[in-house]
Amino acid sequence: MVLKAFFPTCCTSADSGLLVGRWVPEQSSAVVLAVVHFPFIPVQVKELLAQVQQASQVSVAVLGTWCHRRQETEESLGHFLEGLGALFSHEPWLQLCRERGSKSWSCKATRRQGPAPLAPVCEDQVMLVFYDQRKVLLSRLHPPAALPERQAGDATASAGGLAAVFDTVARSEVLFQSDRFDEGPVRLTHWQSEGVEASILVELAKRAAGPICLLLACLLSLISAASACRVLRPWPLSFIWSKLSTCEQLRHRLDQLTLVVSTHRAGGPTQLMRKANTLVSVLLDMALGLLLLSWLHRKDRFAQLAEALVPVADRVAEELQHLLQWLMGAPAGLKMNRALDQVLGRFFLYHIHLWISYIHLMSPFIEHILWHLGLSACLGLTVALSILSDIVSLLTFHIYCFYVYGARLYCLKIHGLSSLWRLFRGKKWNVLRQRVDSCSYDLDQLFIGTLLFTILIFLLPTTALYYLVFTLLRLLVVTVQGLVHLLVDLINSLPLYSLGLRLCRPYRLAAGVKFRVLEREAGRPLRLLMQINPLPFGHVVRIYRLPSCGCHPKHSWGSLCRKLFFGELIYPWRQRGDKQD
Amino acid sequence: MEDERSFSDICGGRLALHRRYYSPYCLEFCLSCPRISLRSLTAVTCTVWLAAYGLFTLCENSMILSAAIFITLLGLLGYLHFVKIDHETLLIIDSLGIQMTSSYASGKESTTFIEMGKVKDVIINEAIYMQKVIYYLCILLKDPVEPHGISQVVPIFQSAKPRLDCLIEVYRSCQEILAHQKATSASP
């Protein structure tokens, strides 16, 4: 195989010296990490390499020599470098050479063909691949195949293709700790040799993070202890808490915040990204909530909203009354059963009357209630939206009740009809065998059964129409609530930190690499530039999306239609406690 | 070393195949697609503007005309940036891998690199689409679990869609390099 030499771009203008790095025999590639300059004592170089090897679990060794010279004047240097091959033996021995000020490189890789020191040498073909050391160090490779997450205590660096290069550079951070201003025994050139990269803000944030996290963790544990206390346990209260989506959202946020401020160190890069994403999401949520709050306070919108609320509720109730009057007449030209129609219509009208009285009773307090609820927007926009969804549920409670009554009546009717239809044909449902069997009925059984069957079937259109109307209204309300929940879900689960990282520092999230062939001269080795291919935005969202409440409808369209036809009640979000009654 | 030949694609448009020979084990093929034609651009723009003018005579709202201009501009920019591919490149480097680049008309490039360790073979496959038989070049990837299985088929030159004669040229050169790579990797 052609020998691939991965050379860092920061070392292309370094002075002559020794090449230090890792040799991967399976890929036949040499990853150069740094250049050791003259003067050096070989024993000290070997000590340094042993230290690095122990600290980073990467088998770092001297790979060859690097010669950066002017036009053929330093011949003695060339001979000296060749002599170093005897001191630091490595198979194969790499000799890279570059003429100062020109772009022509020359590479030689020699390999001894036998154990004896005088055995004949053979040369391999060499291909130079330049890489940006800083970017490769900071980036994280996302392979398309789902490889198992590498644990922190893994023994050796991986040997899988280009992942080996990334792994080698990332694990060799120990080698890059010293810069040229340090008074060490060995002088190195690498990406940090001009000065170790650090940021004051990051260091200050790290120092401050410890106590702040501790404080917040205590606070959050107090809050969760308070919410789990005995006072809130008894049945009516716990039932209510489990039904409100606001409580669900608050609980979710509490869990997320506990995760973020926990004092354990993050287990791996995935956990770190998750923490960062959660933090940014919570901060954005609160910022949007405060924005909403300031907008609501600006023109005294609370009063406007409260003033508008009662007339809107009145209007809705009026429209419902009109609808019922229409149903009690001859809706769409259909002929209803007058008696049943009147009964059902009056029953529902009485409910609406109760509802309007209730709203009028509450109207003086609405502004205060809204104002206090609006304060909760400072906890986040998602909390405000959940409260909105809960308010919509409460205001359309009468529609929900009507739907339940209509559905139950219809369901009873359908079940009655199906069993009487079987009787009409002389069959019976066998509960033991779970199938339809023939059965011989008495004459009076048949008579009463047929009578009831005809009654039920003639009353079917009326009940079916009421059921249809109220189901459509209920579905409308469910759709509105569903949209609000979708928005909440979006804000909860979008990984904003990862998206920002992909936008501003695309080399941090790598999907792979790409190569570019540099200028080629005849007789010189092939030179390639390896760049990082960033992850597409869709993949970033898919890989790093945060777990959300998971309120997705569990039915398919087919089962939904079936349930609607048979009059079974539909609960759109079946999860651990949702708005049902 | 470079040479250029012209071929045609399956719809009859002219394609130019650029071959760059960097070294015995590094080869690049660049296939340039036909450019966007002035005729189709004019036709689409005229249709959109006539439709907008028809709506305008119905509604008497001048916003429709400005909206039509915006839509045309945005549509053209979106088409050039996301849809129209200018040229496709295939770079094969022995013992490193195969890289496919698509360059869009707006200058955007999207690159995929497949390591040589994952490549099983490069083949010409045929596909039957309605009444046509289409030949396409594809890379077969090894299955990590099963040694003789294939995990994925990656087609090359999907937008350019060259005909069989062009594909045979590319196929021959790829097979030379792959054979060389297999021979040298078998021996330690």
Q: What is the mean pLDDT of residues A335-340?
A: 83
Do residues B46 and B94 both lie within one domain?
no
Higher model confidence: residue A498 or residue A553?
A: A498
Does the beta-carbon distance from A1 to B95 stay under 8 Å? Answer: yes
CB contacts, 8 Å: B101 with chain A? 514
pLDDT of residue B12: 85
Does the beta-carbon distance from A526 to B23 stay under 8 Å? Answer: yes
For A:17-36, CB contacts with B below 8 A are 27-28
Residue among B22, B26, B115 minimizing CB distance to A161: B115
Residue among A1, A4, A127 minimizing CB distance to B185: A1
Q: CB distance from A162 to chain B under 8 Å?
A: yes
Q: What is the mean pLDDT of residues A181-192?
A: 78
Which amino acid would we find at residue A519? E
Q: CB distance from A512 to chain B under 8 Å?
A: yes
Of all helices (H) and strands (E), which one includes residue A75? helix A75-87
Do residues B162 and B125 both lie within one domain?
yes
In this prediction, what percent of chain A has a pLDDT beyond 70?
90
In this prediction, what percent of chain A has a pLDDT beyond 90?
17
CB contacts, 8 Å: B96 with chain A? 4, 127, 129, 515, 528
Residue A163 · residue A31 · CB < 8 Å: no
Residue from B2, B21, B23 whose CB has the most chain A CBs within 10 Å, to mutate: B23
Query: Is-above-0.90 flag for pTM?
Result: no
Q: What is the mean pLDDT of residues A162-181?
A: 83
Residue A283: HSE in the Cβ half-sphere, 13 Å Cα cutoff: 10
Q: What's the rounded Cα separation, in Å, for the pair A496 and A540?
A: 10
Q: What's the rounded Cα separation, in Å, for the pair A565 and A464?
A: 10
Q: Kindly tell me if the per-residue pLDDT of A489 is higher than 80.
A: yes
**From the CB of residue B27, how many other CB atoms can be counted at a distance below 10 Å?**
20
Domain locations in chain A as residue ranges: 2-147+156-189, 294-494+546-566
Does the beta-carbon distance from B93 to A145 stay under 8 Å? Answer: no
CB contacts, 8 Å: A529 with chain B? none
Q: Which positions ≥6 away from A359 have C-beta within 8 Å?
A: A310, A313, A314, A317
Confidence of residue A554 (pLDDT cuts 50, 70, 90): low
Residue from B96, B102, B108, B178 whose CB has the most chain A CBs within 10 Å, to mutate: B96
Q: How many folded domains does chain B comprise?
A: 2
In angstroms, the separation between the Cα of residue B24 and the nearest Cα of chain A is 10
What would the pLDDT profile of A425-442 be if each residue is shown by its tens digit? Answer: 888 888 888 888 888 888
pLDDT of residue A565: 87
Secondary structure class of A548 (helix, strand, coil): coil
Q: What is the mean pLDDT of residues A162-187?
A: 81
Q: Which residue of B has its CA nearest to A524?
A: B23
CB contacts, 8 Å: B118 with chain A? 161
pLDDT of residue A148: 43
The DSSP line for A113-168 is: SSSSTTSPEEEEPEEEEEE-HHHHHH-EE--SS-PPPPPTT-SS---STHHHHHHH
What would the pLDDT profile of A439-458 be if each residue is shown by its tens digit? Answer: 888 899 889 999 999 999 98
Q: CB distance from A514 to chain B under 8 Å?
A: yes
Does the beta-carbon distance from B26 to A526 stay under 8 Å? Answer: yes
- DSSP at A266: P
CB contacts, 8 Å: B178 with chain A? none
For A:431-490, CB contacts with B below 8 A are none
In angstroms, the separation between the Cα of residue A1 and the nearest Cα of chain B is 5
Which amino acid would we find at residue A84? L
Residue A58 · residue A44 · CB < 8 Å: no
CB contacts, 8 Å: A528 with chain B? 93, 96
Q: What is the mean pLDDT of residues A26-49?
A: 86
Q: Kindly tell me if the per-residue pLDDT of A550 is higher than 80.
A: no
* Residue at a domain's end among B83, B102, B117: B83
Higher model confidence: residue A359 or residue B130?
A: B130
Write down the H helix ranges in B34-163: 38-59, 63-78
Residues of the domain holding B62: 38-83
For A:134-153, CB contacts with B below 8 A are 145
pLDDT of residue A309: 80
CB contacts, 8 Å: B99 with chain A? 514-515
Do residues B96 and B72 both lie within one domain?
no
Q: Which residue of A has its CA nearest to B111?
A: A514
Residue B21 · residue B41 · CB < 8 Å: no
Do residues B113 and B169 both lie within one domain?
yes
- Whether a cis peptide bond, with omega within 30° of 0, leads into A148 is no
- Whether a cis peptide bond, with omega within 30° of 0, leads into A39 is yes
Do residues B161 and B96 both lie within one domain?
yes
Do residues B15 and B106 both lie within one domain?
yes
* Residue at a domain's end among B83, B117, B141: B83
Q: Which residue of A has its CA nearest to B181?
A: A1
Does the beta-carbon distance from B99 to A127 stay under 8 Å? Answer: no
What ipTM score was computed for the predicted complex, to two decimals?
0.87
Q: What's the rounded Cα separation, in Å, for the pair A136 and A68?
A: 24
What would the pLDDT profile of A110-169 be if each residue is shown by its tens digit? Answer: 877 666 566 666 777 888 999 999 999 889 888 775 444 444 334 444 556 788 888 888
Do residues B178 and B156 both lie within one domain?
yes
What would the pLDDT profile of A507-521 be if each residue is shown by its tens digit? Answer: 999 988 999 998 888
Beta bridge pairs of residue B4: B18
pLDDT in tens, chain B (188 residues): 788 999 998 888 899 999 998 888 889 999 999 888 899 999 999 999 999 999 999 988 888 899 999 999 999 999 999 999 999 999 999 888 999 999 999 999 999 999 988 899 999 999 998 999 999 999 999 988 888 889 999 999 998 889 999 999 999 999 999 998 888 876 55
- What is the signed CA dihedral for A88, A93, A97, A103, rounded to 10 degrees? -140
Q: Which residue of A has its CA nearest to B178?
A: A1
CATH class of the domain whose range is A2-147+156-189 = alpha beta
Residue among A2, A27, A515 minimizing CB distance to B99: A515
Do residues B151 and B61 both lie within one domain?
no
Region of residue A533 (phi > 0: left; psi between -120 and 50: alpha; otherwise: beta): beta
Do residues B170 and B110 both lie within one domain?
yes
The DSSP line for A425-484 is: HTEEEETTTTEEEE-PPPHHHHHHHHHHHHHHHHHHHHHHHHHHHHHHHHHHHHHHHHHH
In angstroms, the separation between the Cα of residue B146 and the nearest Cα of chain A is 15
Which amino acid would we find at residue A531? Q
Q: What's the rounded Cα separation, in Å, for the pair A381 and A291?
A: 9
Q: What is the mean pLDDT of residues A94-121?
A: 75
Q: What's the rounded Cα separation, in Å, for the pair A379 and A243?
A: 20
Chain-wide mean pLDDT for chain A? 82
Candidates A568, A227, A238, A548; CA nearest to A404 is A568
Higher model confidence: residue A148 or residue A77?
A: A77
* Residue at a domain's end among B56, B83, B110: B83
